[in-house]
Amino acid sequence: MGLVNLCNIFGNDKLVISEFDFSPVNYTQHVPNLDAEYVFELNSLNDLLLYLVHPFKDCLYISGPSGCGKTSLVLQVAARLNWPVEQITLSNKSESLELIGHSSLKNGELIYEYGPLTRAMMYGEILILNEVDLMSPGDLTVLNDVLDGKDLTIVANQGEIIKPHPNFRVVATANSKGNGDTSGFYNGVRLLNQAFLDRFRFMEMSYPKTNVEKAMILSMFPSIDESLCVKLLKFAHDLRQVIEVGFENGVRQLSAPFSTRSLIKIAGLMSLDTDLDIHKIIKMCFALRLPAVEYEYVMRLCNDIFGHEGGKPTVKTE
């Protein structure tokens, strides 16, 4: 690809990095699918591009609430740059061997199978470690040398040494900043080792601004009436405001965040030509997961904004 004009690729002349001398490897099977309807938020896009273009042997840690688009942002940037991606979602059961690789028996022969970390280093991919704050801090420290840009020595494969490709990048995503869950939403989140975290730059994401979420909905579901879209965005804003006020007062008002993912799910069902009304859709996509008191509050807010139950979502007609 050579010298890449990022402003042209992303259709924005306000990027902090306008050009990138980038030559993707011939390993296209892991290039993410491009979503032509995806809408970028400028600040987040700039932060990610700055890291990808000028990593300086750092890794990138993206924190933010559930469903705000942390992984999607990385995938859609990679798709437009034709940059292959390895991603793995970690858990409290994950071990370092899942990232590096392991020996296995195939057709009577013992072979070594590389893990996503090793493949990303070899082929110049972006490695996405989703939910990194769920994995054991002790297992994560095994990666410290690699995160510093050093070679990976695979002792289990006769001491094989893997040198990092110039295009190799590591992006971790999490709901916390490595200091544990302060919201009460994310059970299982751990305190991460500060030596591990010291290898990262940090980037914080939140739910997109109202105008960005509106553009996303209308781009993905053009059949939705714009006035109904505005009401849905007000519903999202008011719910998130309740959560924010609760945080400030030290009292959790809702036991689940209202994510952009939830917003898109609701918009998608609203766009269908069915007999489902908005109240039923909101129940299916969000409210029914809540305790009774919170459920009643959400449905009262739904009535205040959309009117009482029984109305069908308004869609454009040709």
In this prediction, residues 27-40 reach a mean pLDDT of 90
All structural domains of the chain with their residue ranges? 3-204, 210-306
pLDDT, tens digit, 9 for 90 and up, residues 259-305: 999 999 999 999 998 888 999 999 999 999 999 999 999 999 999 99
Q: Which of 42-51, 203-212, 251-260 has the lowest mean pLDDT?
A: 251-260
How does DSSP assign 12-48, residue by residue? -TT-S--EEE----S-GGGSPPP-TT----HHHHHHH
- Single out the residue of 154, 76, 71 nearest to residue 115, CA to CA: 154
pLDDT at 76: 98
3-state secondary structure 236-251: HHHHHHHHHHHHHHCC
Give the integer Cα–Cα distance in Å for 261 and 151: 38
The two structure tokens encoding residue 146: 């690699």
CATH for 3-204?
Answer: 3.40.50.300
Instruction: Indicate the SS3 state at residue 118.
Output: helix
- C-alpha dihedral (283, 287, 290, 293), degrees to nearest 10: -100
pLDDT, tens digit, 9 for 90 and up, residues 99-158: 999 998 888 888 999 999 999 999 999 999 999 999 999 999 989 999 999 999 999 999
pLDDT at 318: 46
HSE (CB half, 13 Å, CA atoms) of 270?
A: 31
- Single out the residue of 115, 133, 135 nearest to residue 125, CA to CA: 115
The two structure tokens encoding residue 105: 């028996």
pLDDT, tens digit, 9 for 90 and up, residues 275-287: 889 999 999 999 9
